[in-house]
Chains A and B, each alone.
Chain A
Amino acid sequence: MATIPVPAPEAAPAETSGTKIAPVVVAFAIGTAVSIGLGVYGRLHTPTGYAVNISGFSSGPAAKAALASVVMLLAIVQTVTAMAIYGRIRLRGAWLNPVHRWSGRLAILISVPVAVHCLYALGFQAYDGRVIAHSIFGCFLYGAFVFKMLILTRDDSPGWALPLAGGLVLSGLTALWMTAVLYFFFV
């Protein structure tokens, strides 16, 4: 017997219109585990203070700041295309989805050397507020990313899941950028 999709309000948002909450919870749990895992690694691993330098920059931090800024720009592209896909801004075209996908892939790949340098050379540190925030957001970002990728694998997630995941990634990245690059250049 087919149940008529009743627009039940907040009480049970998960069960409306055939969406499933369980995979979202699982994806969130996996993302959380990734974040915690990164944090634990960053804390336990003795930072080497050294990592492979990326040539062409005046210093390791400058290279990281430049790469992180490219990632931040791509994240803005991500936000704009995502808003267009969701119809929040007037922008249409077949290019939106590929641009969103590939700018995201590019962004996360570019972020990897930066994150590895942070984790491997510096570790999870807590010697002042900025550094502890940066350490936490760094671990948070990749957990949020894993969460978002897992949400994307299914069509039956609730409608709010993907924007939530994307928003978490964007917030994490913005916080990371502000606690590092902004500080590096302007403070």
Chain B
Amino acid sequence: MTDELVPDQADAPPAAPPPKDPTEDAAASWLRRVSSSGSTVTVLAFVLALVIGGILIAVVNPAVTAAAHYFFAAPLDTFEAAWTAVSEAYSALFRGAVFDYQADTFAKAIRPLTETMTVATPLIIAALGVAVAFRAGLFNIGGQGQVIMGASLSAYIGFTWHLPAGIACVVALLGGLFAGAVWGGIAGVLKARTGAHEVIVTIMLNYVAISFLAYFLTTEAFRVPGSAEPKSRTVRPEAQLPLLFGSQYRVTWGFVIAILAAVFVWWLMSRSRIGFQYRAVGFNPNASRTAGFSVQRITVYVMLTSGALAGLAGAVQLLGTSKYLTDGIAGTIGFDAITVALLGRSKPLGIFFAGILYGGLSAGGRFMEAVTGTPISIVLVLQALVVLFIAAPSLVRTIFRLPAPDAELKGATA
């Protein structure tokens, strides 16, 4: 837009404060503020996604379909069946994610929560990597490949190098970090040197990494001697991440690493000089160049950082949870990390909670599939819907007929 399409604020008549409705009392104005705030939209987006997910669950449920055949004879049966299907699925989701109220002991009842933490750990770390790239204006869709490379190298170090306890684990973690950084760095270098778009390059590198992993698992260096199974040797005990809450739960020190990583990313993006450059380049590469930042170099650094975090996520997953390499080692961590980063609005604290939420959905989803037979892929649908709704707050407001916040009014004209 030209300067003139929108009048200069300073030259326009003094901006009157928004007219205040005298009848609006304090409570109403509070309600108005809350209902238009970001966190309300987040909650409502989640509700909306659960509603749509519920409809899907109900529609495909055999009992519901059966009842629907005589819908006009007894319509209530259909709704009852739908309610049963959805409530069973969602309560199983809850029991698998947070608190299993049907368990005999308290220790068992809170196990789902610890499972959620376990699943969330690599998600949080990888999502932090995605977020660093996002905030520097880059789309790292290659988390999956970086996770795979990180897990592969940390596994290799973990089962071949004989190092003392403590050191072994740290070295294996650093190995994963390094491998992920290299994998991300390739995309950074190509972007900086040739302008190749990082979205395409990182996606392609995912497939290349998958092929590499498949190759690794055929080699003598990785495979269990004498076995034809595509499965690597198990990481030596010294290199494994120690458990955090004892042998009853699977949570490892990886969870602490995730918290430390979040703190690190907070410092990096909000306090450090290099992070200042990351953000500047992300918002306006031209002005950054004029300010003397090397956009090329920053682009490479950003992808190195982003990849390193994803690689660390892979290492943590391997050394903490799975202990050996298979072709499914990365699960969908790399892709889920993108939605976690979006849901957490690319802020470390937001990502921490978004990661826990997604960890819960995954852990709960498995439980739900086992108990009610609802396919776990419904979780993907929920994830995608939540992020879509959060990305378009005005859509959510339209659906729930909420007032638009003042900030957005201004944004519309600026």
Do the two chains bind? no
